[in-house]
Amino acid sequence: MATATIPHSHSLPERNPGTTFDLSAVEGALVNKSAVERRAATLPTRRTVKKEWQAAWLLHAIRTIDLTTLAGDDTPGTVRRLCTKARQPVRPELLQTLGVAPLTTGAVCVYHEMVPAAVAALEGSGIPVAAVSTGFPAGLNPHRLKLQEIEASVAAGAGEIDIVISRHHVLTGNWQALYHEVRDFREACGPAHMKSILAVGELGTLKNVLRASMVCMQAGSDFIKTSTGKETVNATLQNSLVMVRAIRAFHEQTGYKVGFKPAGGIRSAKQALDWLSLMKEELGHEWMQPHLFRLGASALLNDIERQLEHFAYGRYASMQYQPLG
């Protein structure tokens, strides 16, 4: 029973080199909160995908997942198991029933200490290792130590670096300091792609989310990411809508394409479909692809596999039959 498929591009866009700091563009950025709330509330009800299309979208969502473990009790063994899951996120017999070729997740995301174990476990797979950095999750380490951590992760083989911004720059309106901080991070990343984590739940207002997004893109971020997953409020459709519209405005102004990564609290297949719908409606088909869209998640994959099983066999399997990373 072959499913419908969403074509996806493997070609990477030109990286965002950033621009000079433009304070007027930042301070002129405004948010219509009531309009954002209405749009976010209606998005999950306006577009639904069913049957084979839902299965196709869920398979595509797997390709966009940054499969993540950021626990204090992580071990090299934990990371190796997660990497095995990233290489084979869905059981082969289920893929065979669906008539789908093998697939992998978008990346594996770990702490710096676990980068060597992840790089070794993923060798030859083409799956990049993403390292959280710069004093994750609070971002309160000294600046020079943040730069050293980035450089060490890149040297260890991380192909992507998820940095955290200093939230106090946003909360005090020191946009130039934020720009220079993120610009330094971008330079330290070298060839590694940089995702800037805004920690939106700690920025106070949607206007701050919008302005922080603009500054991070001006400073050369390849992706902007909602959250560390450690805040009280993480990815929501409201703050995601503000961020993707900032991406659209930046692309219209500069021609540079910046990716988006919602993270934190995305655990169900239905949520994954909501965020894919958001990207399709607000930014178009290309921004649904793994080179411009990632889902930061750990538990999400298990629910997606259960939904695929229901589509294939007409029943849900017990969670005890779901292979865990």
Tens-digit pLDDT profile for residues 137-156: 999 999 999 999 999 999 99
Question: CA torsion, points 151, 141, 258, 213, in degrees to nearest 10?
Answer: -160
Query: Does 244 reside within a domain?
Result: yes
Would the pLDDT of 37 be above 50? yes
Please report where in the chains the tokens 């560390």 appear, as a residue.
228
- Give how far Cα 249 sits from Cα of 181, 253, 280, Å: 22, 6, 16
DSSP 3-state assignment of 155? helix
Compute and round to an integer the Cα radius of gyration of the chain.
Answer: 19
DSSP 274-317: HHHHHHHHHT-GGGGSTTTB-EEESSHHHHHHHHHHHHHHSSPP
Would the pLDDT of 42 be above 70? yes
Give the residue from 164, 163, 155, 74 showing the smallest Cα distance to 119: 155
Would the pLDDT of 325 be above 70? no
Would the pLDDT of 195 be above 70? yes
Question: What average pLDDT does the structure give for the chain?
Answer: 93
pTM of the model: 0.94
Rounded Cα–Cα distance for residues 305 and 267 (Å): 12
Rounded Cα–Cα distance for residues 130 and 109 (Å): 5
Query: Does 218 reside within a domain?
Result: yes
Q: What is the mean pLDDT of residues 47-67?
A: 93
Percentage, residues of the chain above pLDDT 70: 93
Query: Does 206 reside within a domain?
Result: yes
Catalytic residues: 162, 225, 261
Give the residue from 112, 100, 111, 106 showing the smallest Cα distance to 126: 106
Tens-digit pLDDT profile for residues 66-99: 999 999 999 999 999 999 999 999 999 999 999 9
Q: The domain that contains 104 carries what CATH number?
A: 3.20.20.70
pLDDT at 35: 96
Query: Does 137 reside within a domain?
Result: yes
Query: Does 145 reside within a domain?
Result: yes
Q: What is the mean pLDDT of residues 153-167?
A: 98
Q: Give residue 106's pLDDT band: very low, low, confident or very high (50, 70, 90).
A: very high
Query: Does 54 reside within a domain?
Result: yes
Q: What is the mean pLDDT of residues 175-201?
A: 98
Question: Residue 166 burial (CB < 10 Å; 0-12/13-18/19+)?
Answer: buried
Rounded Cα–Cα distance for residues 23 and 223 (Å): 21
Q: Where would I find the H helices in 156-261?
A: 167-171, 175-189, 206-218, 237-254
Tokens of 127: 């799956």
- Give how far Cα 155 sits from Cα of 51, 111, 158, 187, 314, Å: 45, 14, 7, 14, 47
User: Which helix (DSSP H) or strand (DSSP E) does residue 39 occupy?
Assistant: helix 33-46
Contact predicate 192/160, CB 8 Å: yes
Would the pLDDT of 7 be above 50? no
Residue-range definition of the domain harbouring residue 77: 23-42+50-315
Q: Give residue 316's pLDDT band: very low, low, confident or very high (50, 70, 90).
A: confident
Would the pLDDT of 285 be above 80? yes
Query: Does 204 reside within a domain?
Result: yes
Query: Does 265 reside within a domain?
Result: yes
In the chain, the number of structural domains is 1
Residue that wins the pLDDT comparison between 238 and 321: 238
